[in-house]
């Protein structure tokens, strides 16, 4: 009986989180942590942080990844489905309703709606510039690394066939990050070995 209830509890918990967090991503994480760790006591805090590390490392939508990971940890794939459906359901229903009533044609042809959206569009662009600034600060981007985002942004913007594909830079970033860090670590160990040999030589 008890195992039956956890699926509906998982679903209900994530529905509540999905329905009330605006802005997605990080805003959701603290709510999920409170619900899963403190209110329901399903998972210990350290373990939640481990799951969060995994969810962040994987591609895809962060809130979905963490709900899948929590569900998976509790009840395997069935738990994942219950939790993820909970996260998805509220925004799916809200957006579907909006899509049905607020069609692209209506936005374009209705004078009131069209005027409102003409004001909104430039603000949306600004709301995307803001995270560029805040993320750059949080990632400690300095003068030595700032060329990377600049070049990536300009090349994607260029609309040149293969070169403007964002996937290319995700793959290159990962590969070069790995190669660079491996070289750094090797240089470090080589220096340590050198030092040791010198000390022993003396």
Partner 1 sequence: MIYLRLIWSYLKIGLFGFGGGYAMLSLIEREIVGPGWITEKTFTDIVAISQMTPGPIGINSATYIGYAAPLQAGFTNPLWGVLGSVVCTLVVVLPSFLLVAYTSHFIARHKDSVAIRGIFMGLRPVVIGLIASAALLLMNAENFGSETFEIWISVIIAIGALATVLFTKIHPILVILASGLAGFLIYY
CB of 45 to partner 1, least distance (A): 16
Residue in 77, 76, 66, 88 with CA at minimum distance from that of residue 11: 88
The pair of three-digit structure tokens given for residue 33, joined into one six-digit string: 């942590």
* Residue from the set 103, 109, 189, 192 that interacts with partner 1 by CB under 8 A: 103
Cβ neighbours of residue 20 closer than 8 Å, sequence gap 6 or more: 31
Return the number of the residue (6 or 148) whose C-beta is nearest partner 1.
148
Closer residue to partner 1, CB minimum distance, 121 or 198: 121
Widest CA span in the chain? 86
Which residues in the 110-129 window bind partner 1 by CB under 8 A?
A: 111-112, 114-129
Nearer to partner 1, 182 or 197 (CB): 182
H or E element that contains 106: helix 104-109
Q: CA dihedral in degrees (139, 143, 145, 149; nearest 10)?
A: 80
Stretch that binds partner 1, among 4-12, 34-42, 48-56, 193-201 (CB under 8 A): 48-56
Is residue 52 a contact residue for partner 1 (CB under 8 A)? no
Closest separation between CB of residue 145 and partner 1, Å?
5
**Contact in structure between 156 and 169 (CB atoms under 8 Å):** yes
Shortest spacing between CB 141 and partner 1, in angstroms: 6
Contacts of partner 1 in 2-31 (CB under 8 A): 18-26, 28
Name, in order, each residue with C-beta under 8 angstroms of 39's C-beta and a sequence gap of 6 or more.
13
Question: How far apart are the C-alpha atoms of 71 and 53, rounded to whole Å?
Answer: 16
Which residues between 138 and 197 bind partner 1 (CB under 8 A)?
139, 141, 145-146, 148-154, 156-157, 164-167, 169-170, 172-182, 185
Q: Shortest distance, CB of residue 198 to partner 1, whole angstroms?
A: 26
Residue from 9, 35, 75, 136 that binds partner 1 (CB under 8 A)? 136
Give Cβ neighbours of residue 113 (< 8 Å, ≥ 6 apart).
102, 106, 107
């Amino acid at each position: 009986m008890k195992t039956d209830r956890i699926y509906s509890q998982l679903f209900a918990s994530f529905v509540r989180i999905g329905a009330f967090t605006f802005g997605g991503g990080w805003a959701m994480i603290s709510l999920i942590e409170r619900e899963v760790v403190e209110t329901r006591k399903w998972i210990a805090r350290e373990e939640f942080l481990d799951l969060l590390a995994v969810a962040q490392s994987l591609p895809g939508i962060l809130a979905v990844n963490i709900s899948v990971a929590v569900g998976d940890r509790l009840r395997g794939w069935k738990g994942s489905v219950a939790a993820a459906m909970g996260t998805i359901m509220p925004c799916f229903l809200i957006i579907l309703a909006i899509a049905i009533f607020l069609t692209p044609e209506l936005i374009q042809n209705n004078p009131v709606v069209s005027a409102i959206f003409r004001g909104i569009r430039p603000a949306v662009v600004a709301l995307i510039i803001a995270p560029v600034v805040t993320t750059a600060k949080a990632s400690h981007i300095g003068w030595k690394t700032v060329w990377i985002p600049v070049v990536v942004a300009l090349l994607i913007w260029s609309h040149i066939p293969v070169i403007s594909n964002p996937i290319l830079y995700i793959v290159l970033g990962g590969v070069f990050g790995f190669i660079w860090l491996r070289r750094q670590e090797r240089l470090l160990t080589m220096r340590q070995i050198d030092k040791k040999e010198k000390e022993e030589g003396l």
